[in-house]
A and B are shown apart, each in its own frame.
Chain A
Amino acid sequence: MSDGVAIRQRPAAEPGGDVVPQAIFWRPIDYFTSAVRLGEDDLDRFKYATYCIGNQLTFDLRTYAGHPWATVTMYLPVSVIGSNEVGRATALVIKGFLLPKQAVAWRRGDAFQFGQLHRPAKDRLREPEARLLALKIAACMAERRATTQELIEQAPRFFTPSPIDLQQSSTRPLQPQWHQIIRNVISHRSSPRGPFEQGYAERTKDGLLVTEAGIDYLRSRGYVG
């Protein structure tokens, strides 16, 4: 759970007007924000959140009604078209959200065919991402507290398990692999980069409780406004 670029959510901001898609991520909008908003433009209705990095870079994450549910698209203002800043801005956003490389479905400059996008076979939940995911899920629960079982039950709202994630666990044959990855977040209590050692969560009898430092951390990742 290393620090990266600080992203701030702008909960009161209206969605950008003329915007251009710059990247697509294999994660649903709930992965990025605890406060999904609804908008509409010339294309369709969409779910969105608006963010900024520093004082200059403002961007939207949107999922239009016609987009695959498990994806989100990053949009920059149309005024940025052709600017050298586009690639840098996209890199900052990916870094700020701590997105794994495999979660980036497409970014400006990549060749593409309309209507064609295939999730990489290697995209799967790994423990660093699961640590952040556990914090996000618990932060949405009553008293910011979640049991391990609740984390597992809620997780599919925040990410879509890949075929590898759904393979049978080697230690618990009746469960998919990604369940074990979530369990590891809680059981690897003394991991130096884990939420407990970082002060972002306290261990409870059967799960975790997100601390104020944890909420501040999620705020710096753009998850809460």
Chain B
Amino acid sequence: MPTVKAYAGPLPPGVRGIDFNTAIDPHPNGSPFEARWYLGLTAGVEERSNSSGEQLASIAAVVRNRQP
């Protein structure tokens, strides 16, 4: 199932990754450590596809790239 998965909370100092904020509520089956947005199950999740035609889940977010 195409899913956006993320750790909850800000990236710790010095850790590489993608930091983002979103107004879309995650699916309630996350945990204190993880948030998930399922395509078709979570309101606000949009369908995308990559160059291979693979179905992907996407959410609108303000992103900060912290993996130089």
Residues of A within 8 A of B15 (CB): 66
Total A-B contacts with CB atoms under 8 angstroms apart: 53
Interface flag for A24 (CB, 8 Å): yes
Question: Does the CB pair A24–B31 fall under 8 Å?
Answer: yes
Question: Does the CB pair A20–B7 fall under 8 Å?
Answer: no
> Most chain-A Cβ atoms within 10 A of its Cβ — which of B5, B9, B33, B36?
B33
How far is it, in angstroms, between the C-alpha of A115 and the C-alpha of B33 when the chains are bound?
A: 6
Interface flag for A174 (CB, 8 Å): no
Interface flag for A142 (CB, 8 Å): no
Of A7-15, A48-56, A106-114, A179-187, the one with at least 4 CB within 8 A of chain B: A106-114
Interface flag for A143 (CB, 8 Å): no
B interface size (C-beta, 8 A): 16
User: Looking across the interface, which residue of chain A has its beta carbon closest to that of B12?
Assistant: A66
How far is it, in angstroms, between the C-alpha of A31 and the C-alpha of B7 when the chains are bound?
A: 23
How far is it, in angstroms, between the C-alpha of A71 and the C-alpha of B7 when the chains are bound?
A: 14
Of A43, A78, A116, which contacts B32 at CB under 8 A? A116
Residues of A within 8 A of B29 (CB): 20-21, 81, 108
User: Looking across the interface, which residue of chain B has its beta carbon closest to that of A74?
Assistant: B31
How far is it, in angstroms, between the C-alpha of A9 and the C-alpha of B5 when the chains are bound?
A: 27
Residues of A within 8 A of B31 (CB): 21, 24, 73, 106, 112
Residues of B within 8 A of A81 (CB): 29
User: Looking across the interface, which residue of chain A has its beta carbon closest to that of B35?
Assistant: A114
Interface flag for B40 (CB, 8 Å): no
Residues of B within 8 A of A193 (CB): none
A-B contact pairs, 15 of them (CB 8 A): A21-B31, A64-B7, A64-B33, A64-B34, A66-B7, A66-B33, A78-B1, A81-B29, A106-B31, A113-B32, A114-B30, A114-B32, A115-B8, A115-B32, A116-B32
Residues of chain A touching chain B, judged by Cβ–Cβ distance below 8 Å, are: 18, 20-21, 24, 41-44, 64, 66-68, 71, 73, 78, 81, 105-106, 108, 112-117
Residues of chain B touching chain A, judged by Cβ–Cβ distance below 8 Å, are: 1, 3, 5-9, 15, 29-36
